[in-house]
Structure formats: C-alpha cells, structure tokens
Chain A
Amino acid sequence: MNDIVVDVQQVNKSFGNEQVLKNVSLQLEKGKIHGIIGRNGSGKTVLMKCVCGFLRPTSGAVRVFEKIIGTDCDFAPDTGMLIETPGFLIHETGMNNLKWLAKLGKGASKERIIELIRLVGLDPAMKKKVGQYSMGMRQRLGIAQALLDDPALLILDEPMNGLDKNGVKDIRSLLLDLKAQGKTILLASHFAQDIDALCDTVCEMDQGWLTPLK
C-alpha cells in the first residue's frame, strides 16, 4: 500500500500577475506530522487551500489518497481541515454548529460530536453562543470540526492561534495522540516550538518557494 498520502507535484499558483506558489513539490508520508513554517504572506495558506481543493493550481497537480484534486474529486477525500481563523454561525452554540456540519460528510453521530467537544476541552452542554466564545474557544471548536468525520488526514493552519498555555499543551498532546492513531497531519505554524515539538518533517515557505529543513 502506498504510504504517500499527499503528493504535490510542481504546483504553481498565481493571482493575476502575482505568483504565490513557485514550483512547489511536497510529499507527505502516512502517520507523520509534517510542518510548514514561514512568514505571513509566504504562501503557506495558499498551499493548504490547494491541497484541500478550495483553490486550483495554475499548473501542477495535487494528489490526496491517490486522487487528483479537481479531476477525480472536488475536495481532498477523508480529510479534516482548519484553515485560517475559524468561522461559525455566531448566534448558535458550538454543538448546533457541529450538528449542522455532521449532516454532511460521513454523518457523525451525536455521541461523536459530544465526545469531540469534550476532547478539545469544551463543554457540550454549554449554552453560550459562538459569538460569545473567546478566540481560544473558537479555535478549539475549529479543531473539533476538523476531526468530526474521523479523517485520516488533517490539514491545520495555525491551530494554536489564540490558545493559552494550557490550550497549546492540550492541542499538542491531542495531535500526538492522533499521530499515534496513524493519522497524517500537515501543520502550519508561526511558532518554532510547535514545529520542533511535534513535526517529523519540516519545510520552510519563503516567497512561494518551499524548502525542506528536516
């Protein structure tokens, strides 16, 4: 069985005259945490959106679980994602937001939703609306959303954003647990500590060029 979960081949992405990704190639092996570091605007998020299927590369191809994104499927299969700041229906509870999302995809059970909300450190019975959540709570809910369908691949863009010290510790521990379960994780972070502590491979994105570091 192929151990390559994500195969990005010579991907270029331009917005008008601006080339954001320059001949990017990347392979992600199964069961590992892969990190991408880079400054704001270096192209990390655009690469993640190309892997997810939200953006189509100008040239090159992205394969996820051997399916070509845009040809074989619209979006990356068996994948959970959290890209940029999480956004939800602000007048609804976290539980209600996840219930709506569970109506699609693999159709997670109510028990699964409750379990996930607890897993990320939130209270499933909480009546608070998402609009009243702190940034850290929204981030946690965003991670729960990404895990909803128990995906084999997780794409997480700055998952530690807005989390306090304990929150960062919890999420790091959660990511290591997921890795132990055989899940593959692509993680982008500003924080070198996250990358050092968690990642098996590390690449740096700089002005659209991707360079392996570890």
Chain B
Amino acid sequence: MTQKRFPRQAPSSLVCAGWNLYSLRKNPRFYMSLLLGFLLCWLLTDKTMAISRTYLTNVQIVEPFVWCYADGDSILYAALVMMLMLSAFPRIDTPASYLIFRTTRLNWLIGQVITVFVLTFGYCLMILLSSMAMCIGCNVFTANHWSETATMLSFSPASFEVALTVMRKTVKLTTPWGCCYQIFGLLFQYVLLLSMIQLLFTVLKSRKAGIIAALVLNFAGFVLTPDRFMTWLNLPMEMRYYANLLSAWLSPLQHATYTMHNFGYDLLPRLHVSYLILGGATALMIALSMLRMRTFQFSFTGGYSDE
C-alpha cells in the first residue's frame, strides 16, 4: 500500500523558519517584546500628539511615526526592544537539534535568516501601526499632505516644546507617505543589521558574544553623535556642520536616521547610499555566518524547554 506523504515537502530552510515562528506562539518573551515595543511607541508619540490635542489641529495618520522615528534615539530604543525578541535566535537548543539533523547546516542558517527577516519586518510594521493607532481620538486624515500640526511643529517655536528633531526640510521636500516609507526602510535595515551582527557573533563565538556585539553597535550609535564630535574635536558652533558630517558618515545609527541625510544641498550621505551601506553590511554578516557554519560546533546540552 502506498502511504500518502503527510507533509508537502517545502524547502527545508522554509520549514526551519516556519518551525521557529510557530514555536514563538506561546513564548512569553515574544509577547513581552511586542508589548514593550507598543509602550515605547506610545511614550514617544504621545508628546507630539499632545500638540494636536492642545491646539485642536488636524494630523496626518503617519505623522506620529515620521516625527518620532526620524530621530536616532527612537530608533535606538526600538532596536533594543527588538534585541530582546531575538535573544533566543539562532535556535541552537535540543528541540532544534532534531530539525537541524534532518537538513543541512546552510539550510538551517538560511531558516534563521528568514525568521529574523520576518520578525524584524513584523516588528517594524507593528511600530508603524501602533503609531497610527495613537491618532485615534484626534482629527486624523490619510491624504498625502502635511497637517496643520506638522506645519506648527516645523515652523513655529512649538517644536522646541516637544524637543523634536528638525523637520523643516522634511516638510518642505517630501510628502508624509514618502517620508514614512523611507523611515520605515531605514528602521528596518538598521534593526536587521543589528540582528545579523547578533547572529554572526553567536555562530562565531557564543550567544553572549552575539548580544554583546549588537549592544556594541548600538553603543557606537549612542556615542558617535554630532555633539560628541564637537566636544572631542573642540569645534566651535559655526563648525557644527563638520561634526554632523562625521557623525552622519561614521555612525551606523545616523545612517538609519532620516534627518541626517542629504536632500540635495549638503555633503551628508544620500538615502540610497545609506541603504547600500546598511544593506551591504547586513549581506556581509550573512555571508560570514554562512562561511562559519561549515565548522560550527553545535553544543546542545539537552533539556525539555523550547526556549
């Protein structure tokens, strides 16, 4: 009797990714990370939404996201929450060992990379949707032009009240949806790079090394700011532009910061250059992880947990 093959044979890397995602369904850390991401979004956007509520001005639906995540600090916080979600990746535990044994090292690694891609994209999307949800209760619209609130924040002293990054050139040169796509892309690429650095150092050394490497990248972003360059190089205020240049080119976090880009009249990196740098670095991390996988030592210690 010919037995019906129960599973439809999918590429094994997709099965590994599917298993990883399926195993998150009941993982408390996963839900805690999502909740933290949501809370962070609420805390960051609330101060800007307060302007709309105070002055009863209308707001475009993606503006809260644009105002908050055009800023390097917000990206840094969001990336730290994502690190918590990905701290269990790559899966190198006993339940995963049965899966790994049935495929190849490369397929297993590709499965981990797919998982991280999906989770990172999902997390960034959740941040975007959460920030949109913050508009509930305000006079909100979806049309592709800036709101009265955005105009106020960009061209009036009100912006100083909420300590927003300079948005004037953004409002002048782009549209809300266009700006939103770019900020989403930069946020996604930065968090993805961070995750891949974590993956590389985990397979190179250990899980602890992976987390430390990701923290070091975040710390570099935290340290390499224009203000610090001004202090280190003892630059006067009129030379701030050079500190901006150094920071924008050297700091990975500034590459992910929308407002630190060239919109046609300075020497800051252009958006496509930052995409290439972040994307290239991510691809390099994946390629190095693949090379390392050939000799990686799987050290399962046994156990019942699926963590």
Contact = CB atoms under 8 A, between A and B. Distances in A.
Interface in B76-113: 93-95, 97-106
Interface stretch (B35-43, B180-188, B292-300): B292-300
Interface in A91-114: 91, 97, 99-105, 107-113
Interface in B23-38: 23, 25-26
Given A54-B297, A74-B105, A100-B22, A87 B97 contact: yes
A91 B306 contact: yes
Interface string A101-132: 11111011111110000000000000000110
Contact of A54 (B10, B93, B99, B300): B300
A55 interface: yes
Contact of B304 (A56, A70, A99, A138): A138
B29 to A, nearest CB: 14
B12 interface: yes
Contact of A52 (B5, B93, B101, B299): B101
A87 B261 CA distance: 49
B305 interface: yes
A135 to B, nearest CB: 9
Interface size class of B (residues with CB under 8 A): 35 or more
A91 B304 CA distance: 11
Given A102-B6, A104-B15, A88 B304 contact: yes
A84 interface: yes
B6 A56 contact: no
A103 B304 contact: no
Contacts of B172: none
Interface string A24-47: 000000000000000000000000
Give the 7 A-B residue pairs with the shortest CB-CB distance, closest first: A87-B94, A84-B302, A85-B302, A104-B102, A110-B6, A105-B102, A54-B298
Given A54-B297, A105-B102, A109-B4, 19 more contacts: A49-B298, A54-B101, A70-B294, A84-B300, A84-B301, A87-B97, A87-B303, A88-B304, A89-B22, A90-B305, A101-B98, A103-B9, A103-B18, A104-B15, A107-B5, A107-B6, A108-B6, A111-B3, A130-B304
20 contacts: A49-B298, A52-B101, A54-B97, A56-B297, A74-B106, A75-B104, A81-B101, A84-B300, A84-B301, A87-B95, A87-B303, A87-B305, A101-B98, A102-B7, A104-B99, A104-B102, A105-B102, A109-B4, A111-B4, A112-B6
